[in-house]
């Protein structure tokens, strides 16, 4: 009996170790005979409303393409939760599983995939890389080079500041809240400093790399008595937004941000691209590369109109603003103004 129990325990332990090293695989039935199958590895950088919305729309668009093109996408999905070591292991698992293509959501994932595929040339399609050229992910927007292309959520900082000054023309102090380690923040924060300098408006920088640090940074900006806060498409701040929006609203400080998901999580305003559409376009690019044999290095990076302003009507009301009045002020500077209420996810 003891020998039998020992054998059972050893077997269970072996299975546990084996399963622990596996990348999550979407539940799927085997493709019918004659249907082309492509193995796709998708890695998300971190759980937040923007990036999760992208992943959801990548999956739904790939499902549509399966039916239309009579193909099968065998999807391996994982999330590194902003951990570089985990990210590298996920990519190594994709390679060992012989994926036909990788999709990397956010700049750090795209950069890691680019580095890991320099020799094996596995095609990479990135999603939501705010500055593809500046971060070194691609050589140019028109001709990315090598084996990589994708979609960009580039933020026009000047467009956001047009809204800030439209609502408060006499503003004198603006807070800049971001994570110095986020490549997505580098270019728009530099642009923000230049814009404010040209207008003679003082700015105060506060940064954080964790939720706790971001909360402290937000509290500091409130103590600094800034009149508005600007945050670009920064995933660290996005992750912390639910923990800071009420403090900003109570202090009467509008938080202007680089994505509608910030507004979903309580920020006064999110300005930028439609992430649902960005996810769908990312999936379409991946399918074109796999099915139609497009060369990723010669496939231009797709960019989008940054014209949608999303106002959180609950946060606006808490600060004494009526949505209709705000929308009227913003309308001349946007292609579209829309409202949203606070929630954790779309």
Question: pLDDT for 64-79, tens place per residue?
Answer: 999 999 999 999 999 9
State the chain's mean pLDDT as an integer: 92
Architecture of the domain whose range is 157-272+307-340: 3-Layer(aba) Sandwich (3.40)
Q: Where are the beta strands (DSSP E) in the chain?
A: 36-44, 71-79, 101-105, 124-127, 148-150, 173-178, 202-207, 228-231, 255-257, 269-272, 308-312, 336-340
Structure letter (DSSP) for residue 209: S
- The 10 Å Cβ neighbour count of residue 251 is 16
Tens of pLDDT, residues 133-148: 999 999 999 999 999 9
Max avg pLDDT among 9-18, 30-39, 118-127: 118-127
Q: Report pLDDT for 34.
A: 75
Tens of pLDDT, residues 3-22: 444 443 444 444 443 334 44
Q: Is 15 exposed, middle or buried (0-12, 13-18, 19+ CB in 10 A)?
A: exposed
Fold of the 34-153+275-298 domain? Rossmann fold (3.40.50)
Tens of pLDDT, residues 275-308: 999 999 999 999 999 999 999 999 999 999 889 9
The residue extents of the domains of the chain are: 34-153+275-298, 157-272+307-340
157-272+307-340 has the same fold as 34-153+275-298: yes
CA of residue 168 relative to chain centroid, distance: 29
CA distance 63 to 71: 10
Which whole number is the average pLDDT over 93-113?
98
Q: Report pLDDT for 23.
A: 56
> Whole-structure pTM over 0.85, yes or no?
yes
């Amino acid at each position: 009996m003891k020998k039998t129990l020992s054998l059972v325990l050893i077997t269970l332990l072996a299975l546990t170790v084996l399963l622990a090293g596996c990348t999550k695989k979407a539940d799927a039935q085997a493709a019918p005979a004659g249907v082309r199958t492509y193995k796709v590895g998708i890695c998300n950088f971190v759980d937040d409303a923007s990036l999760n919305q992208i992943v959801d729309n990548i999956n739904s668009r790939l499902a549509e393409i399966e039916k239309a093109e009579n193909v099968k996408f065998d999807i391996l999905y994982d999330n590194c939760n902003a951990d570089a070591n985990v990210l590298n292991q996920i990519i190594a698992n994709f390679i060992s599983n012989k994926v036909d293509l990788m999709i990397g959501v956010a700049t750090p994932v795209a950069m890691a995939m680019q580095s890991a595929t320099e020799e094996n040339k596995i095609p990479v399609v990135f999603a939501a890389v705010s500055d593809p050229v500046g971060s070194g992910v691609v050589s140019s927007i028109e001709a990315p080079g090598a084996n990589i292309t994708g979609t960009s959520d580039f933020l026009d900082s000047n467009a956001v500041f047009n809204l800030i000054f439209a609502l408060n023309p006499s503003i004198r102090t603006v807070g800049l809240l971001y994570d110095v380690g986020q490549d997505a923040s580098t270019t728009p924060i530099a642009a923000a400093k230049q814009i404010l300098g040209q207008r003679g408006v003082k700015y105060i920088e506060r940064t954080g790399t964790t939720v706790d640090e971001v909360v402290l940074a937000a509290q500091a900006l409130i103590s600094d008595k800034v009149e508005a806060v600007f945050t670009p498409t920064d995933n660290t701040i996005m992750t912390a937004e639910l923990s800071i929006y009420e403090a900003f609203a109570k202090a009467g400080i509008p938080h202007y941000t680089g994505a509608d998901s910030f507004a979903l999580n309580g920020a006064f305003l999110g300005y930028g691209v439609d992430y649902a559409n960005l996810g769908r376009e990312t999936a379409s690019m991946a399918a074109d590369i796999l099915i139609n044999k497009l060369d990723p290095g010669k496939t231009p990076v797709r960019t989008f109109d940054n014209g949608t302003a999303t106002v959180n009507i609950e946060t606006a009301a808490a600060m004494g603003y009526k949505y209709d009045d705000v929308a009227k002020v913003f309308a001349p500077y946007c292609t579209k103004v829309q409202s949203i209420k606070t929630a954790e996810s779309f």
